[in-house]
Amino acid sequence: MDFSFMHKYYQFYIDGTVITLLLSFFGVLCGVVLGVFLALMKLSRNSMLKLLASAYIELVRGTPLLVQLYIVYYGLPKLLGWDFADLTLGIVAVSLNSAAYVAEIIRAGIQSVDKGQMEAARSLGMPHRTAMTYIIIPQAIKNILPALGNEFIVLIKESAIVSVVGIHDLMYKADTVRGNTYRPFAPLLVAAAIYFTIIFGLSKLLAYVEGRMRTGDSSI
């Protein structure tokens, strides 16, 4: 297999990798923030908030990311009448998608915390919102950290779909190299190796963090 094209196009892969990591990082970050609100809405006693959160989650989880990407990419600028950078629209699309999945992860994490924790906080006179903020949610985040890490990994792989609307991520750059060099296979192998390296490294980091957390729990 001839990879001689790399001396000319290595910067393409570096630039694409940076865009992919930015897209994934901010997608998960914004998705977690939105997901917390959606999870709290779904757990709320307010039936309207619960209905809105459930409807959003089911709608997003029931439609392909590609469709959501097209709606955001072509619809959001027309709806608001503003021009957005392509990367911004990509981040918005993956964030809205990730929020639905993160919301369910966080909801399950909150419900996994022993109910006695909330009862103890309330018996001490702590308001419900304060107890959720300082007692329940921190424990839930600790419980769901591996699942959130997996969501980040999934998002890195799924972010490749933004290349179809011209966002210059790693996959887009690999396709550009394929077109420039007339080599249909080797540029994809390079992209696959980069994706694998990122995801393998992140998986090992998550395993290390999870192990440290377990060690901390066992020492208490």
Closest by CA position to 31, among listed 109, 93, 113, 111 = 93
Please write the tens of the pLDDT for every residue from 142-159. Answer: 788 888 888 888 888 888
198-208 pLDDT tens trace: 999 988 988 88
Please tell me the distance from the alpha carbon of residue 24 to that of residue 220, in angstroms, as a whole number: 35
pTM recorded for the entire structure: 0.84
Q: Which of 76, 100, 82 shows the shortest CA–CA distance to 27? A: 100
Identify the sign of the CA torsion 197, 200, 203, 207.
negative
Type of residue numbered 163: S
The answer to whether 143 touches 113, Cβ cutoff 8 Å, is: yes
90: tokens are 């990509």
Q: Dihedrals φ, ψ of 120, to 5°?
A: -65, -40
Distance CA 65, CA 94 (A): 8
* pLDDT tens for each residue of 92-123: 999 999 999 999 998 888 888 888 888 888 88
Q: Show the domains of the chain with their CATH numbers.
A: 10-214 (1.10.3720.10)
Residue pair 147/101 in contact (Cβ under 8 Å)? The answer is no
